[in-house]
Every structure is written in C-alpha cells, then in structure tokens.
C-alpha cells in the first residue's frame, strides 16, 4: 500500500502571558522563557522527524528495494534498469545539534537519548542506501548469489534501523507531549484566544492520533476500521464543541477560525469516506489516502494561519 506523508504541525510559541500556580513553568519571565524553549525544541524535533522519514527512511528504503529487485533480475540474466541515483536534502542548519532545554526537568536526559537515537537510526538507513549505491556503481553487472546475499543483508539491517527509528520517535513524543502541553497552557493563560486555541489543539491531537492509528492499519494485510472510526467520531465531537465557542471579537481571527473549522469538516468527511470504502474492501485505496493526506495538510495550514 502506498505510504502517504503527512505534514508536520508546528506548535507556535506565544509570549507574554501569565500562568496557573499549578503549572511548573511559573509566571516569571524565566518560566515563560523555559516554556517557549520547550515548545521550540518540540517543533524542531517534530520537523526533523518528518524530514528524516520523508527524505532518509522512505526514499532510502524505496531505493534499497529497487536495488534488490535489480540485482535479482540481473542474476537471472534478465533485462533490468538500475535504480536512479539518490540525492538527499540537507537538514535545516542547527536543528540536529539542538540541545534539550532545562524546561524538560527530570525528563531532560531521556528526551536527549530518544532524540539522539532517532537521529542516529535515520542516518544508518541513509548510509545503507549510500552503501548500496556504491556497491551497484562499482559492480560490473555480473551478480552472483553472494551479491544477492549482501544486498539482502543491507536491506534487513536497514529495516531493523527503521524500526528503531519509529520506536524512539514514539517514545520521544510521548515523553515530551505532557510537558509541551503544560508549556502551552502557561503561555496561553491570559491569551484572548485561549479557549479557541486550546479547543483547536485538542482537535489537532486527535487528528494526529488518527494518523498514527492509520499508519498501523496500513501495515496490515487486512485493515480494521473500528478504532479509526472511534477516533474519527471523537474528532467530529470536538469540532462541534469548537463551533459552539463564543464569537471572536477580532474579525480577521474569526474568519480564520471559521476556515479552520471548515478544514476539519472536510478532513472528517474525507476520513469517513475512506473508512466506509475500506470497511468493504478490507483496505484503503491510494485515492482515498491521498484525499485524507491533502485534507490533513490543509487543516495544518489553516490552524497555523489562525494561531499566527
């Protein structure tokens, strides 16, 4: 099944607001700075995760798969086309060396460990693809059984590193999430759009959960839609609450908030269509997946437009 890449959502750092006494970030200037540092690091980690996945993992594994097929076909004496040479994009300057801020408290070391291991596993997959490229470039095209075995070993090691990447990614964001939420609450406590932003963020959290659940189902031979339907229903319920919030006094912000809600509506409609079709077919079509991906991307854009 086709892998769909979903756009990363940037959680924006807002400044200049006070904070509840229960919030560990406090109401002082240093507390607000710590909250902003936590959110900034989260955004960097999220951006890197998406870039690693799209440019290193998926691109590399696709190349390695094609290289395997190429070697096997050549070994059989069949006509085969060598995979197109890979070109990797550079990561944003300074992102990979970002230090974990003190605002993560006692979880700081664990956050640093998961962040580093996620990065290292991504580079191992990229290195494997580069090794594969060199191997094919230096070969005379007369592949033997030993060549196929070497290629398979590289592919298997890469698949293991992909798994390591996702394990550390999940641990990293699961650990950061509650701390980031506290940081956001601290910064938003006196914000005029606090209720709208917090409610909208709940929708975003649900849609991200849906995307994670969808990824799990896409890896199965026969998909199950029950859990996905439950999460879709929760998104629709939270959207209804979003629409019931008081009208925003700022006319421009009210329009942007309405556009965001409309984007969520379209996302939910697309998801429901995909689930209905998938329930019967026991799988999701590329067309439905692409619609959901496009709607998700639009939702992210409208959210960021609203909170900017």
Return the sign of the alpha-carbon dihedral for residues 137, 138, 139, 145.
negative
* Residue 139 placed within a domain: yes
Does residue 270 share a domain with residue 126? Answer: no
Inside any domain, residue 250:
yes
Structural domain tally of the chain? 2
In whole angstroms, give the CA distance from residue 247 to residue 249.
6
pTM recorded for the entire structure: 0.76
pLDDT for 275: 95
Q: What pLDDT score does 37 carry?
A: 93
127-174 pLDDT tens trace = 999 999 998 888 887 888 888 888 899 999 999 999 999 999 999 999
pLDDT above 70 (res 233): yes
The answer to whether residues 133 and 63 touch, using CB atoms and an 8 Å cutoff, is yes
The answer to whether the beta carbons of residues 308 and 14 sit under 8 Å apart is no
Q: Where are the alpha helices (DSSP H) in 139-250?
A: 145-188, 194-218, 226-244
Boundary of a domain, candidates 130, 154, 188 = 188
What's the mean per-residue pLDDT of the chain? Answer: 87
- Are 184 and 215 contained in the same domain? no
DSSP state of 200: H
pLDDT over 50 at 184, yes or no: yes
Tell me, yes or no, whether 60 lies in a domain: yes
Task: Looking at the structure, tell me whether residues 206 and 278 fall in a common domain.
Answer: yes
Domain span including residue 81: 26-188
157 within domain boundaries: yes
Distance, CA of 254 to CA of 261 (rounded, Å): 11
Q: Domain containing 221 — which CATH number?
A: 1.20.58.820
Query: Which 3 state secondary structure label does DSSP give 18?
Result: coil
Question: Of 188, 207, 226, which residue sits at a domain end?
Answer: 188
Residue 140 lies in a domain: yes
Residue 176 and residue 145 in one domain: yes
Are 128 and 140 within one domain?
yes
With 70 as the cut, is the pLDDT of residue 216 above it? yes
| Residue 17 in domain | no
Q: Are residues 84 and 203 in the same domain?
A: no
pLDDT recorded at residue 117: 97
> What average pLDDT does the segment 212-241 reach?
89
Q: Give the closest residue to 13 by CA, choosing from 28, 35, 44.
A: 35
For residue 184, is it within any domain? yes
Shared domain check, 223 and 92: no
How do residues 252-283 score in pLDDT, each as one tens digit? 999 999 999 999 999 999 999 999 998 888 88
Please report the pLDDT score of residue 5 as a whole number.
41
DSSP 267-292: HHHHHHHHHHHHHHHTS--HHHHHHH
């Amino acid at each position: 099944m086709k892998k769909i890449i979903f756009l990363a959502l940037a959680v924006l750092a807002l400044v200049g607001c006070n904070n509840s006494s229960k919030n560990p970030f406090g109401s002082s200037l240093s507390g607000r700075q710590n909250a902003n540092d936590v959110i900034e690091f989260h955004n960097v980690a999220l951006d890197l995760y998406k870039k690693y996945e799209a440019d290193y993992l998926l691109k590399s594994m696709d190349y390695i798969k094609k290289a395997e097929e190429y070697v096997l076909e050549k070994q059989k004496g069949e006509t085969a086309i060598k995979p197109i040479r890979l070109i990797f994009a550079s990561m944003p300057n300074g992102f990979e060396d970002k230090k974990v801020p003190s605002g993560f408290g006692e979880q700081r070391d664990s956050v640093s460990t998961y962040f580093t291991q996620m990065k290292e596993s991504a580079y191992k997959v990229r290195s494997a693809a580069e090794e594969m490229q060199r191997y094919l470039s230096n070969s005379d095209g007369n592949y033997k059984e030993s060549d196929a075995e070497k290629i398979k070993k590289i592919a298997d090691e890469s698949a293991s590193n992909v798994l390591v990447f996702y394990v550390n990614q999940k641990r990293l964001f699961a650990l950061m999430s509650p701390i980031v939420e506290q940081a956001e609450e601290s910064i938003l406590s006196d914000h005029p759009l606090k209720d709208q932003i917090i409610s909208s963020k709940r929708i975003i959290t649900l849609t991200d959960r849906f995307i994670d659940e969808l990824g799990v189902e896409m890896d199965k031979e026969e998909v199950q839609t029950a859990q996905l339907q439950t999460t879709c229903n929760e998104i629709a319920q939270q959207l209804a609450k979003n629409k019931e919030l008081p009208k925003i006094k700022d006319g421009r912000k009210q329009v942007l908030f309405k556009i965001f809600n409309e984007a969520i509506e379209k996302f939910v409609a697309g998801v429901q269509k995909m689930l209905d079709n998938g329930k019967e077919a026991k799988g999701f079509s590329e067309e439905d997946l692409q619609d959901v991906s496009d709607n998700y991307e639009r939702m992210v854009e409208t959210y960021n437009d609203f909170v900017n």
